[in-house]
Amino acid sequence: MSEIHSKKKALGRGLSALLDNTETENPQKEISGEYTAEYIAQVRIEQIEPNPFQPRAHFDENELRELADSIEEHGIIQPLTLRKIGHNKFQLISGERRLKASKLVGLSQVPAYIRLANDEQMLEMALVENIQREDLNPLEIAISFQRLLEECRIKQEDLSQKVGKDRSTISNYIRLLKLPSEIQVAVRDNLISMGHARAIINVPDEQSQLMILKKILEKKSSVRDVEEMVRNLGKKKTSIPQNNALPAKYEKAKLSLHDKLRSKIDFKINRKGAGAIIIEFKSSEDFDRIISKLDA
């Protein structure tokens, strides 16, 4: 019972608990060169210097604000990666958007992986070993895969061999990181499964994704239920009426017939140009009136 309570408490601390290891967590220990690839530390923002090699010069303000709102509500899902460059001094390797958004929210510290300048091999070994753990949730595995690809510059086919999983499986995990933060949190907290998340990924817009998440949580929907929701959503979108504007000559004829017969006129035309003229009548007497006008 105490173990379950402890796990819930760790999740309740927010996203800084991701990939945390209770054996290495020591609040008394100073952040120093002792910390290597497998550690997550809470680092004060003023101790972090920007990456001078950051190729991206512009960050969309609206996107940053949205990310800031998400961080304010859910915390930071993916810890930043920092390089230690001195005593209590760190340089950002990845996560500049997360750092900027954290500053907007007014956070004083952020969760980060601490790396040494020459520990790339150690990082790779730690992450590969981490993926083999049976207690990781899908989001934690996805983050580890992403770090191996981006930070260790491993090709996906080589990664497949290192971790013993096919490339499609790795891709499916990494796609989880493109989902809205609310859904990532639900995966992290085991409120929904990998199967649920994979079905939601196929929905193109975020609003619909979040709507499906809400239904899953409210109705305890199975993966099969969610797959059916996604299929039905696709059918609704494809059934939206297209622009059926008639060519000018048909519109002109339609107006002329309406003026003559004083009835609603419609045309049905297929792609080959064949079709039908539909004349609406409201009663037997109205039908006789229309026929008499056509005979005139």
50 vs 283: CA distance, rounded Å: 79
The answer, yes or no, to whether residue 75 has pLDDT greater than 80, is yes
Which position among 66, 96, 120, 182 bears the catalytic label? 96
Higher-confidence residue of 57 and 110: namely: 110
Q: What is the pLDDT of residue 174?
A: 92
Q: What is the pLDDT of residue 125?
A: 66
Comparing CA positions, the residue from 193, 192, 195, 204 lying closest to residue 233 is 204
User: How many CB atoms neighbour CB 287 within 10 A?
Assistant: 13
| Secondary structure of residue 84 in the 3-state scheme | strand
For 36, what's the count of Cα atoms within 13 Å in the CB-facing half-sphere? 11
Annotated catalytic, 96?
A: yes
- Contact by Cβ (8 Å): 16, 74: no
Q: What is the DSSP letter of 205?
A: S
With a CB cutoff of 8 Å and minimum separation 6, the contacts of 247 are none
- Contact by Cβ (8 Å): 16, 76: yes
Q: What is the pLDDT of residue 121?
A: 67
With a CB cutoff of 8 Å and minimum separation 6, the contacts of 122 are 36, 37, 116
Q: What is the pLDDT of residue 209?
A: 93
pLDDT (tens digit, 9 = 90+) per residue, 108-124? 999 998 877 566 766 77
Task: For each of the domains in the chain, give its residue range(s) and CATH number, in order of start.
Answer: 1-116 (3.90.1530.10), 119-237 (1.10.10.2830), 248-295 (no CATH)
Q: Which residue has the tokens 């100073």?
A: 30
Q: Across residues 81-110, what is the average pLDDT? A: 88
Q: pLDDT-derived band of residue 292, with 50, 70 and 90 as boundaries? A: confident
Higher-confidence residue of 137 and 29: namely: 137
161 vs 164: CA distance, rounded Å: 5
Cα 193 to Cα 24, 111, 246, distances in angstroms: 28, 25, 49
% of the chain with per-residue pLDDT over 90: 29
Higher-confidence residue of 42 and 85: namely: 42
Structure tokens that stand for 12 in this block: 């309740």
185 vs 27: CA distance, rounded Å: 25
Give Cα 236 distance to the centre of its chain: 22
pLDDT (tens digit, 9 = 90+) per residue, 195-244? 999 999 989 888 999 999 999 999 999 999 999 999 888 776 554 444 45
